[in-house]
Amino acid sequence: MKRKPISDQVVVVFGASSGIGRETALQFARRGAKVVVSARGDEGLNSLVEEIHNEGGAALAIPAEVADFSQVKAVADGAVKRYGRLDTWVHLAGIGMYATFEQTSPEEFRRIVEVNLLGQVHGAQAALPHLRRAGHGALILVSSVEARRALPYHSAYAASKHGVHGFIEALRVELRREKAPVSVTEVMPASINTPFFSKARTKIGVKPMGLPPIYPPQLVAEAILQAAEHPRREVIVGGAGKGMLMTQRTSPRLMDALMLLIGFRGQETREPKSVDAPDNLFQPIAGDNRVEGDFSAQAKLEAASPWIQRNKWLVAGTVLGGVAVVFTVKALRGRS
């Protein structure tokens, strides 16, 4: 499907106030795209638009609550009203919570599904009419590697991301049957160094972190821009994520064992954090509109390891093979 160069595109980035969304909007603007940015809070969006304008780019902020379709539709309509069309819709808005399933209230579970799953649905419903009219539209939906493999502490989050994956598969086939001029790309990041972890509600007693290794948000933004010009079915960002999904396909039981070994402690820092600490589950948090989170040292280590990046399948296979050996030895000892 032929696409316009980014410099000629009008792009909406939803979930743009911080993290991957903010970096994505900045990269689009630096490549010459006209960018419309949206999120719940005015503060982060206004500072983002100011940064883009200071760099000579074109941007418009339209705040919206992603769980409210009318507000999401207003973003799509506002982009067309301002710039005449919509070429690419990038949907990144998402929230999370670290808790066991039994610690998760029905209201918390529902809220995560409303934002992470229904928010993506609302974005697609609002954007598709405009993307069709453009004649070459791109719908880029960012889910997670947890769309294919859930982690502990993430029953609601993983359920919402699995739902996004199923929704995308159905939508993609329907659009192909109609020969609609709209590409659909699912971007599935592994653990990314953004403020997501400091903003998330936690009931595990400590500040959470992404399951290592942790990757810089710039990698995801680059994958999104690539998909905006050269459509792909799906993109997994982070070699560890590819290894995890490869293992899940090969042996779900081995992946269960790996999660028992590292899935809990691997998401826990040593920094105490109360359940009463501020979080963004129902309201945005003021003053935390960074691109990068609190794990820059780990992310820079990953980005600065070119051999690991070139040989990520070998590294992932070696690590997972080692885990398999450990559990095999334990099983044999248990029988003796």
Residues annotated as part of the active site? 157
Q: Considering just the CA atoms, what is the radius of gyration of the chain in Å?
A: 20
| CA 93 – CA 40 distance, rounded (Å) | 9
Helix (H) or strand (E) holding 133: helix 119-134
Residue type, 332: L
Q: Which candidate, 88, 18, 20, places its Cα nearest to that of 48?
A: 18
| CA 49 – CA 284 distance, rounded (Å) | 18
Q: Which residues pair with 141 in a beta bridge?
A: 91, 186
CB 53 within 8 A of CB 59: yes
Q: How far is CA 140 from CA 90, 188, 242, in A?
A: 5, 11, 19
CB 35 within 8 A of CB 59: yes
Token pair for 34: 């006209």
Helix (H) or strand (E) holding 279: none
Classified as helix, coil or strand, 208 is: strand
| CA 250 – CA 301 distance, rounded (Å) | 29
- The packing angle between helices 155-177 and 119-134, to 10°, is 20
Overall residue count recorded for the chain in this entry: 336
φ, ψ at 236 (rounded to 5°)? -100, 125
